[in-house]
Structure formats: structure tokens, C-alpha cells
A and B are shown apart, each in its own frame.
Chain A
Amino acid sequence: MYFQLFWSFVQIGLLSFGGGYAALPLIQQQIVTIRGWLTLQEFTDVVTISQMTPGPIALNAASFVGSQLLGIPGAIIATIGNVLPSLVIVLILAWFYFRYRSLKLIQGMLYGLRPAVVALIASAGLSILFLALFNRPTLPESLHEVSWFAVVFFCLGFVFMRRKKPNPIMIILGSGLVVVVVYLLGIPI
């Protein structure tokens, strides 16, 4: 169990190019799909919390998953697993860089990775969206599963975000508070 946890986060650390959101699809696949350590609902909660708390999402997810599964030792092991590939690769690259002052192959690799990373983040973002709108991570089978409130609310939020470029934390917190008010007013969601 300790080793599985460690190894899952080594893979997440090793393959998340592009920082921030790039870790999302990998965490989802490793922790939700392959291992089943978190439900998609719990994963969404981790992502939400990671946006609100300081620190990178991958590290936050590592600490959260580790401590959910195995307490504090689990959190430490998952975190170390997550940063170990960074430590090794960054130091090797730094050494090469100071020696040869050229990163041509790495830039070539990034040229290929950038479009893939965007696509993968889109797929992770969509499964979070679908869970909110349809209560399942895929497209709904019937219209009864659609939460029309959430559809309208998402569209309004998205337009507001594109137009006004507010702080993401304000968008997340604001959305949460609006839904709490709607819930307290007894309007069915």
C-alpha cells in the first residue's frame, strides 16, 4: 500500500508537464480510475480545496490522498513521491544547461507536449463539469439527469470569467456562496 501510493505519485510527478492543471488528468486517472482511492466527487472536492489553499494542486492532492489513506505517514510518502522526479530531472537539466546553454531537444519535446496537455486538461475539466451538471462524469443518457440550474449558472459564470477576468478564487468562492443561498432559500437545484 505504501509503495503503491508512492509509485502512483511518482508517475504523476514524472508526467505532469506544464504545471498547475497539467497534474489534474493524471491524478484523476491514477487515484480515481486505476486505484479507486477517491471517488470522482472526492477528487472534485480536492481540486476545489487545492484552488482555495496555497500551494500547487498536485502537492495538495498528494497530501490529501496520502492522509486520507494512511494518515500523516501517507501524506509524507505521497508528497515525497510527487516531488522526487522533479528533484532529479530539474537538477540534471540545470547541470546540462549550465554546461551547454542549450535546451533544443527539450524545447522540441515541449512543442509536442503543449497541445496534448491542453487536451488532457480539457478532458479533466469536462469530467468535473459533467459531474456538476449531470451528476455523472460523462454525457447524460436522458434529460432528467440534467441540472438546468447548474447549466445556466455555469454558462453565466463562464461568460463573466471570459469578459471580466476576475480572480479565480472569487469565482470559486462566489459560486459556492450563491449555491448555498439558493439551497437555504429552498429552491430545488
Chain B
Amino acid sequence: MLFWTLFSRTFLLSAFTVGGGYVIVPLMRKTFVEKLAWIEESEMLDLIAIAQSSPGPIAVNTSILIGYKIAGVPGALITLFGTILPPLIILTLFSYVYHIIRDNKIMRALFYGMSIGVAVVILDAVTSMATTIVSKRKILPVFMMIGAFILAITLNIHIVVIILSCAAIGILVTLLASWRERKNQNAGTAP
């Protein structure tokens, strides 16, 4: 019964929520914190923070954490299964339909128009994210953003290289900052 509830709740959320992780995750919180009261509010916020820090889709990560919190590793597998099943079914069906409709002229016009809409939506999201980074008024992140962009569009550098080097810079800067903090504290407490 517990496993069935875990499965059916995550399956329904994944099957009927359009808009990706940023919409699904708040609904998961509502379901498991408010309706079922299986997870406490503060713990749910921590789980979402972990989900956002991990690679992969945030909705998938959150569902794994909810399942793990409630029923251990078997629970994590059940909620993961519930979350990935709807896209698997829907997109497999779509890929068969796609073969039939893709050369239809009206469908082509529809998809062409929608691709302009997709470009609008993606570049709108990018503008908001870039504004957030610039508004913090720190030089390094802005420099990294511009550098990564130039590397990505002009040179044929593998994205993995860009991602890993930026992650390494972030870790180094954080380690340096905490080391300096500790040194200052030591200097401050020294007689």
C-alpha cells in the first residue's frame, strides 16, 4: 500500500504536470508535506536543495529523495520508476506519430512557428538567469559566464571541459575563502 501510494502519486504528478521541474517540485511538496504529511516542511526544503545541487532533472532527483526518505532505497526506486514512466510512454508514442506528421506542410509550419516560440522561452530564461548573476556584482562569475559563452560558440571545445573546469574553479574559490576565514579567525583570537 505504501509503495503503491508512492508510485501512483509520482506517476500522476509526472504524467499531468506540464512545465518541468520548477512546476512539479512544488506540487510534490504539496502532496508529501501537506496532503500526506509524510515529510516535514523543513526537511523537504533540504531535500529540494540537494536535488538542485545534483546533476540530472530536478523532478527526478526530488522524487528519488522523497522515496528514499520514506522507504529507503526500494522507495527511491519506486518513486523514480513512477516519475520516468509517463515521459517514456508519451514520447515513445510521439516518436511514432512524428514519422507520419513531420513532412506534412502544415505540421512543418506549426513546428517552425513553435521553434521560434521555444527560442523566445529559452532566451527569456537565459536573460533572467544572466541578470541574476550580473546583479550580484561579483567579477569572477560574470567573467566565467562570458568566457564560457565565447568558448562554447566560437571554439569547438567539448562542453564537459567547460563544465568541469568551472566546477573546479568554484571549489577552489570556496576552499580559498574558507581557508582565509579560518586564518583571520586565528589571527583575531591570537593574544
Interface on A for B, CB 8 Å cutoff? 11, 13-21, 23-26, 29, 44-45, 47-60, 63-64, 67-68, 72, 75-76, 79, 82-83, 85-87, 89-91, 93-94, 97, 103-126, 128-129, 131-132, 150, 153-154, 157-158, 161-162, 168-169, 171-180, 182-184, 189
Contact in complex: A54, B84 (CB < 8 Å) = no
CB neighbours of B109 from chain A (8 A)? 176, 179-180, 182-184, 189
Query: In the complex the two chains form, what is the Cα distance from A45 to B73 in whole Å?
Result: 36
8 contacts between A and B (CB under 8 A): A19-B20, A52-B114, A63-B92, A75-B88, A109-B167, A115-B142, A172-B117, A172-B118
Contact B50 A178 (CB under 8 A): no
A127 to B98, CA, bound (A): 22
B71 CB within 8 Å of chain A: no
Chain B interface residues (CB < 8 Å from chain A): 14-22, 46-47, 49-61, 64-65, 68-69, 73, 76-77, 80, 84, 86-88, 90-92, 94-96, 98, 102, 105-106, 109-127, 129-130, 133, 141-142, 144-149, 152-153, 158-160, 162-163, 166-171, 173-175, 178
Min CB gap B2→A, angstroms: 19
Asked whether, in the complex, the Cβ of B56 is within 8 Å of the Cβ of A174, the reply is no
Q: Which residues of A contact B57 (CB under 8 A)?
A: 16, 19-20, 23, 56-59, 83, 86
Contact of A111 among B47, B125, B141, B158 (CB under 8 A): B141
- Are the CB atoms of A154 and B169 closer together than 8 Å? no
